[in-house]
Chains A and B, each alone.
Chain A
């Protein structure tokens, strides 16, 4: 069974540029999560989807961040424009059911904003 796929693995951009991250969850997993992980910290939830619906986006900085999950499968997280403080690892995870279930993480995208 294929795991959660993320691309790109690494991204270096200059500040004020846009950037997008892509995630393909495990087949059949209804719930998809985007997390942000700063160095030396645990993951922090940005947004949670149940199928196509964003059910928890309270921690997503909506002035510059946006996300979508078309057809309830793949998801894209976008930052526009990027700021220096956005440098972090962006993790995607999926679970079969609710947030209380085991979550399966992708390898993450390491973003560096110069």
Chain B
């Protein structure tokens, strides 16, 4: 089952701009993870944030988690054309990692 739901479904920005995508989920979680998938490729893990954490940084990525609102956001700063990909949030709950449908990000030069 797909618990996470990303918003927006698609996002188009220019290089240098920031990209923000959101994820909402329904049940309590152990952690929340963000993955990137380039066209025709497998998923690549970006960042993991535990349920007792509120914010985490990794390079140009910033992830926030609000367990009271059951939501998370992924911010990519100073985007590059190479950031063009689909981004998925995945919630670790129950006995599985449940992926959303993803946000498709297009970064144009």
Contacts and interface: CB of A to CB of B under 8 A. Distances in A.
Whether chain B is bound by chain A comes out as yes
Interface of A: 4, 40-45, 48, 55-56, 91, 93, 99-100, 102-108, 110
A107 B99 contact: no
A104 B48 CA distance: 13
A102 B101 contact: no
A4 B3 CA distance: 26
Contacts of A91: 42-43
Contacts, number: 57
A91 B51 CA distance: 27
Interface of B: 1-2, 4, 30-31, 33, 35, 40-45, 48, 88, 90, 92, 95-102
Given A41-B2, A44-B99, A102 B33 contact: yes
A48 B42 contact: no
B contact patch SS? strand
Contacts of B4: 42
Given A100-B31, A102-B48, A56 B96 contact: yes
A36 to B, nearest CB: 11
A contact patch SS? loop
B101 A99 contact: no
Contacts of B42: 4, 91, 93, 105-108
Nearest to B102: A42
A56 B101 contact: no
A106 B42 CA distance: 5
Contact of A44 (B2, B41, B44, B45): B2
A110 B98 CA distance: 21
Contacts of B95: 48, 55-56, 99
B43 A105 contact: yes
A105 B88 CA distance: 13
A102 B2 CA distance: 18
A112 to B, nearest CB: 14
